[in-house]
């Protein structure tokens, strides 16, 4: 008995924080912001103001139950279910707030999710990811959960449930460009990553094999890493501009002082260090006895490298690639500053127009992309590590 | 037969192996024993050219080992090391199949050989073939390491402290298994160790190395009774050299015609064990029987003691 009673009364610390933050957001922060047009400062509205009384009360009751679950229930399945229920309720509330506050046919007024909404979403998201972590799902299951979540979110968006919310209004106005810049964003991030891996793998192998060069290579890449992105764009602008002017072929290939070329080169340079360092570290981790035995059995250097060393180093190398991919997805945003395109276009355009909804149209998908990339690559690393111990 | 001729290895000004010459007979076990830093591992590794000699040469069955690319040479020579060096990402079967696959054996032959070796090493193929090295005990990993070294039916097997990481009971079993396997496959084995007991137990001939030189290379009995150098006596041990000598002869070899009362002693037992048994019983003599239970004579304490004296 003595051991079971404290467990019943134990309050979950993270749950307490989540409940407190969620409750404060619900009570003190605006759930939505109503604006007469897209650039005017808004008029904050609470949950109870924007929903019919019964719906507002039901909403709050459910969120309180979710808070209780966060506080006192230790079963992670129930916690996950509660968090997801909370997300659904908050999403439904913000969607109906958008519909309720927008006069029919009016394309000018904007209903933007308020800080209360975002804090609630973050708190519930934290609760959900914490529950998933406690469930320790296999890597495949984690990817499946991500796909399911993306499918549900995509389906709901496609149905038009949120069409009266400000971000979706901005989307409706920019749908064609959004698809184009989204594609460009992925191409820039993945393209620079691929180029970096092709160069960084051999460099990492050199670092491992030739200790004399190691300090020089890693030191140089470290210096590159410390250059701020904007400064690097600036540094690249002059030589690439000169190159385009001097070599017509380069200009025809799209290499100019501004645009995608300096963006890709800068991202490529930033990508080198993590992959080179992790390749080096991964190769160091390979058991010297296994390499010695491989040599003793008559494997050639190439067979040892490809059949033993790189395969055993793969989980660490993939961890480096994961770092680079997530980093690149974020950094591509800045490429828009020099005409490189990508979702950053909306961010900077939004800043220029003080239209925060347009900023979000660029920022939210960027965060979602980076998060998804992290989940997928983490799963991949874990699968590799399990198979190869 | 392996012929080592004036083999030397220098790293800068340091001579690690100093003009070693020795002949290792076919179908025998030669043990190179020495303290750490004596150059014994370097000598072994020059046989399969993991270390390239500074001067001198190694002939295997009359062919100079330098006459073919090193990796092709190594595929014909088995190689087992202390920390087994199994590939952690490959199953037991894939590990054992490494050299046969390098030699492009057809898969049926590879599979048959893997099964055969697993059985020889008392590892049930159904249970162990698909396991990964980390799922095995230390003794099992070591056996798989030796099985892998023998996979391509090499005529020569080099072993660098192969049992160094095993606990004493498992090590004794592994040594017995190695003797069985040597008899079964007729492999020429060169084994490096720092453990004199292991050297005496396994070696048909033992080479004692110090500071890069082979001080004496002979049968264990000769090492004990006629040490060529004070260092050899120190290595073989002076206090218990009589007992060591007894451990080199079996009861069957020392038995004389006749019969005796009391429980019999196995012909395969060493004289050291036989003496211990007689002292324990307080008996003067015992009968000796072979593995089939056929009497092969008797053994007296006096006769045993005579075997423990040099000359």
Chain A residues whose beta carbon lies within 8 Å of the beta carbon of residue B50: 292, 295-296
Buried b (16+ CB within 10 A) or exposed e, B84-114: bbbbbbbbbbbbbbbbbebeebeeeebbebb
**Which of A297, A307, A387 best probes binding to B when mutated, by most B CB atoms within 10 angstroms?**
A297
Are B50 and A388 a contacting pair at CB < 8 A?
no
Q: Do A311 and B79 touch (CB under 8 A)?
A: no
Residues of A with Cβ-Cβ distance to B132 under 8 angstroms: 389
Answer yes or no: do A300 and B71 touch at CB < 8 A. Answer: yes
Alpha carbon distance A317, A325 (integer Å) = 12
Q: Give the mean pLDDT of chain A.
A: 88
**Partner B contacted by A175 (CB < 8 A):** no
H helices present in chain B, as ranges: 40-47, 70-75, 92-96, 98-102, 107-120, 125-128, 138-149, 168-185, 196-202, 220-225, 230-236, 241-247, 251-254, 271-281, 301-307
Please name the member of A298, A311, A388 whose beta carbon is closest to the beta carbon of B99.
Answer: A298
pLDDT in tens, A357-372: 899 999 999 999 999 9
For residues A313-330, give the mean pLDDT.
93
Task: Find the closest chain A residue to B158 by CA distance.
Answer: A296
What is the overall mean pLDDT for chain B? Answer: 91
Partner B contacted by A159 (CB < 8 A): no
A311–B149: do the CB atoms touch at under 8 Å? no
Higher pLDDT, A337 or A275: A275
B34-51 pLDDT per residue, tens? 988 899 999 999 999 999
Predicted confidence (pLDDT) per residue in B72-112, tens digit: 999 999 999 988 889 999 999 999 999 999 999 999 999 99
pLDDT over 90 percentage in chain A: 52
Query: How far, in Å, CA of B3 to CA of B25, rounded?
Result: 9
What pLDDT is attached to residue A6?
A: 45
Question: Are A290 and B71 inside 8 Å of each other by CB?
Answer: no
Average pLDDT over residues B11-26: 92
Among residues B25, B4, B22, which one has the least CA distance to residue B186? B25
The pLDDT of residue A387 is 64
pLDDT number for residue B78: 93
Least confident piece of the model among A256-260, B224-228, B272-276: A256-260
**What is the pTM (predicted TM-score) of this model?**
0.81
Chain A contacts of B83, Cβ < 8 Å?
287, 289
User: What count of other Cβ atoms lies within 10 Å of the Cβ of residue A81?
Assistant: 16
Q: Which of B54, B72, B70, B60 is nearest to B18 (CA)?
A: B54
Nearest chain B CA: its distance from A313 CA (Å)? 11
Chain A (297-326) residues lying within 8 Å, Cβ to Cβ, of chain B:
297-300, 303, 308, 311-312
What are B's interface residues with A at a Cβ cutoff of 8 A?
A: 48, 50, 71-76, 79, 81-89, 98-99, 102, 132, 134, 145, 148-149, 158
What pLDDT, on the 0 to 100 scale, is given for residue B235? 86
The phi and psi torsions of B288 (rounded to 5 degrees) equal -120, 130
- Identify the pLDDT of residue A3: 46
B158 contacts in chain A (CB < 8 Å) = 296
Residue with tokens 């709050």: A60
- Cross-chain residue pair A292–B134, CB shorter than 8 Å: no
- pLDDT, position B308: 84
**What confidence tier does A240 reach under pLDDT thresholds 50, 70, 90?**
confident
pLDDT 10s digits, A101-117: 888 777 788 888 889 99
Contact state of B89 with A389 under an 8 Å Cβ cutoff: yes
pLDDT of B18 higher than 70: yes
Tell if the CB–CB gap between A388 and B102 is shorter than 8 Å. no
Find, in chain B, the residue whose alpha carbon is nearest to that of A300. Answer: B71
Q: How far apart are CA A147 and CA A153, in angstroms?
A: 10
Name the residue among B74, B87, B88 with its Cβ closest to that of A296: B74
Interface test with A, best of B88, B134, B147 (most A CBs within 10 A): B88
| Contacts of the segment B271-275: beta carbons below 8 A, 24+ positions apart | B271/B246, B271/B247, B271/B299, B271/B304, B271/B307, B271/B308, B272/B243, B272/B244, B272/B246, B272/B247, B273/B247, B274/B299, B274/B304, B275/B246, B275/B301, B275/B304, B275/B305
B chain contacts of residue A287, beta-carbon cutoff 8 Å: 83, 85, 88
| Segment A139-182, tens digit of pLDDT | 889 999 999 999 999 999 888 888 888 889 888 888 899 999 99
ipTM of the complex: 0.84
């Amino acid at each position: 008995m003595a051991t079971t009673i404290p467990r019943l009364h134990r309050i979950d610390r993270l749950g307490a924080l989540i409940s407190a933050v969620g409750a404060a957001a619900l009570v003190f922060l605006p759930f939505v912001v109503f604006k007469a047009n897209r650039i005017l400062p808004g008029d904050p509205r609470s949950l109870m103001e924007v929903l019919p009384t019964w719906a507002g009360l039901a909403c709050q009751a459910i969120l309180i139950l979710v808070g209780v679950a966060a506080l006192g229930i230790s079963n992670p399945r129930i916690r996950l279910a509660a968090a997801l229920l909370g997300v659904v309720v908050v999403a439904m509330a913000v969607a109906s707030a958008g519909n309720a506050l927008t006069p029919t046919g009016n394309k000018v007024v904007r209903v933007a999710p308020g800080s209360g909404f975002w804090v609630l979403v973050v708190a519930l998201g934290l609760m959900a990811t914490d529950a998933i972590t406690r469930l320790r799902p296999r890597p495949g299951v984690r990817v499946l959960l991500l796909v399911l979540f993306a499918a549900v979110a995509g389906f709901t968006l496609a149905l038009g449930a949120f069409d009266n919310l400000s971000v979706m209004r901005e989307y409706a106005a920019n749908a064609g460009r959004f698809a184009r810049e989204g594609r460009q964003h992925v191409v820039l991030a993945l393209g620079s990553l691929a180029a970096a891996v092709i160069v960084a793998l051999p460099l990492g192998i050199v670092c491992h094999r030739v200790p004399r060069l190691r300090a020089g290579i890693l030191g140089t890449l470290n210096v590159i890493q410390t250059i701020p992105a904007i400064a690097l764009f600036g540094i690249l602008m002059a030589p690439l501009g000169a190159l385009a002017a001097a070599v017509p072929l380069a200009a025809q290939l799209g290499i100019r002082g501004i645009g995608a070329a300096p963006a890709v080169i800068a991202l490529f340079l930033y990508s080198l260090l993590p992959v080179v360092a992790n390749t080096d570290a991964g190769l160091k981790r390979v058991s010297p006895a296994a390499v010695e035995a491989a040599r003793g059995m008559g494997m050639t250097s190439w067979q040892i490298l490809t059949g033993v060393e790189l395969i055993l180093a793969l989980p660490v190398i993939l961890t480096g690639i994961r770092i680079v991919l997530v980093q690149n997805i974020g950094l591509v945003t800045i490429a828009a500053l020099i005409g490189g395109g990508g979702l950053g276009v909306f961010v900077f355009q939004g800043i220029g127009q003080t239209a925060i909804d347009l900023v979000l149209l660029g920022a939210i998908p960027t965060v979602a992309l980076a998060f998804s990339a992290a989940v997928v690559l983490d799963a991949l690393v874990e699968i590799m590590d399990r198979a190869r111990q | 037969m392996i012929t080592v001729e004036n083999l030397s290895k220098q790293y800068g000004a340091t001579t690690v192996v100093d003009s070693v010459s020795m002949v290792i007979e076919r179908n025998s076990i030669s043990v190179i024993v020495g303290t750490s830093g004596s150059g014994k591992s370097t000598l072994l590794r020059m046989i399969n050219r993991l270390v390239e000699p500074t001067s001198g040469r190694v002939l295997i069955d009359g062919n100079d080992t330098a006459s073919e690319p090193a990796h092709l040479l190594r595929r014909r020579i088995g190689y087992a090391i202390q920390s087994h060096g199994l590939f952690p990402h490959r199953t037991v079967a894939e590990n054992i199949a490494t050299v046969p696959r390098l030699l492009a054996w057809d898969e049926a032959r590879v599979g048959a050989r893997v099964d055969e070796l697993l059985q020889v090493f008392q590892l049930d193929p159904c249970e162990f073939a698909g396991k990964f090295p980390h799922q095995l005990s230390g003794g099992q990993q070591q056996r798989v390491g030796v099985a892998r070294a023998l996979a391509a039916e090499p005529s020569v097997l080099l072993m660098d402290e192969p049992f160094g990481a095993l606990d004493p009971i498992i090590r004794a079993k592994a040594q017995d298994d190695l003797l069985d396997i040597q008899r079964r496959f007729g492999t020429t084995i060169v084994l490096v160790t720092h453990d004199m007991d292991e050297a005496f137990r396994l070696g048909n001939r033992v080479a004692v190395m110090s500071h890069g030189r082979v001080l004496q290379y002979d049968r264990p009995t000769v090492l004990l009774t006629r040490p060529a150098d004070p260092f050899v006596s120190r290595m073989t041990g002076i206090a218990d050299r009589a007992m060591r000598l007894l451990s080199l002869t079996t009861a069957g070899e020392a038995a004389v015609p006749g019969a005796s009362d009391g429980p019999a002693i196995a012909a395969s037992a060493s004289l050291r064990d036989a003496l211990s048994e007689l002292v324990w019983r307080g008996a003067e003599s015992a009968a000796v029987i072979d593995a089939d239970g056929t009497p092969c004579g008797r053994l007296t304490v006096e006769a045993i003691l005579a075997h423990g004296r040099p000359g």
